[in-house]
Amino acid sequence: MAAARPPAPRSLKNLADLKQVQRQLAETREREAAEAAERAAAERKRAAEKDLFARAVGATEPLRPRTRTVPLAPEPPAPIPVQHQLDEQRVLRESLSDEFDVTTLLDVDDAMSFRRPGIGTDVTARLRKGDWTIQAQVDLHGLRSDEAREALGGFIRNAHKQGLRCVRVVHGKGLGSPGKQPVLKTKTQRWLIQKNEVLAFVQAKPAEGGAGALVVLLAPVKR
């Protein structure tokens, strides 16, 4: 028995069928050519953009691996020197005694005065005359005894640190005190004598407070 032959291709019936096939083939080739041209244009565009970026950026190097970093705690705020302030106040209270005997240290004349041992009488005389200009003053009026002591001690200490030489301390005449006794005036004299910064003091002139104030000469600052 003879082997079966493959079916013969469909034959073109006429010239019109041939032209139609040719037209379809031409359309297919045009479509494929257009797609190829589109792909080629897109590839050229991508290459041009990549080349433009490379020219703009220039030569590059790969990033180095990041080193390990250690987080640092924020610097704590500076401590408030509360204890130092309390210590200074305690020393001030202890250093100025209300029981200090000043009777042998005061020059009781027409105007009471004090001069530290080694300081001549000419110093107090010049202090009375106003040879030193009063550079600052503290007013202790209306303060309780402990308040006045701390205010006076702080004032003398700060004035000496600033290099001031002559200051005035207003303590009042004691007319408003019980029995009209000048309690604060006497205590102020005691406190001033106990301050090493004080070289001398005299009763102020009438125009500067008279019996209600003292003009104080401070020691020069040691450089």
Mean pLDDT computed over every residue of the chain:
78
More confident residue, 141 or 103: 141
Q: For 60-88, how does the pLDDT look when each residue is reduced to its tens digit (9 = 90+)?
A: 676 666 666 666 667 776 666 666 666 56
Task: Note the pLDDT of residue 13.
Answer: 61
| Long-range pairs for 205-210: beta carbons < 8 A, 24 or more residues apart | 205/128, 205/130, 208/134, 208/168, 209/168, 209/170, 210/173
Q: For 26-48, how does the pLDDT look when each residue is reduced to its tens digit (9 = 90+)?
A: 888 888 988 988 888 888 888 87
Q: Any idea where the domains of the chain sit in the sequence?
A: 16-56, 102-218
Fold (topology level) of 102-218? Ribosomal Protein S8; Chain: A, domain 1 (3.30.1370)
Task: Note the pLDDT of residue 171.
Answer: 92
Task: Note the pLDDT of residue 157.
Answer: 94
Q: For 103-136, how does the pLDDT look when each residue is reduced to its tens digit (9 = 90+)?
A: 445 554 546 789 999 999 999 999 999 999 999 9
Stated pTM of the model? 0.53
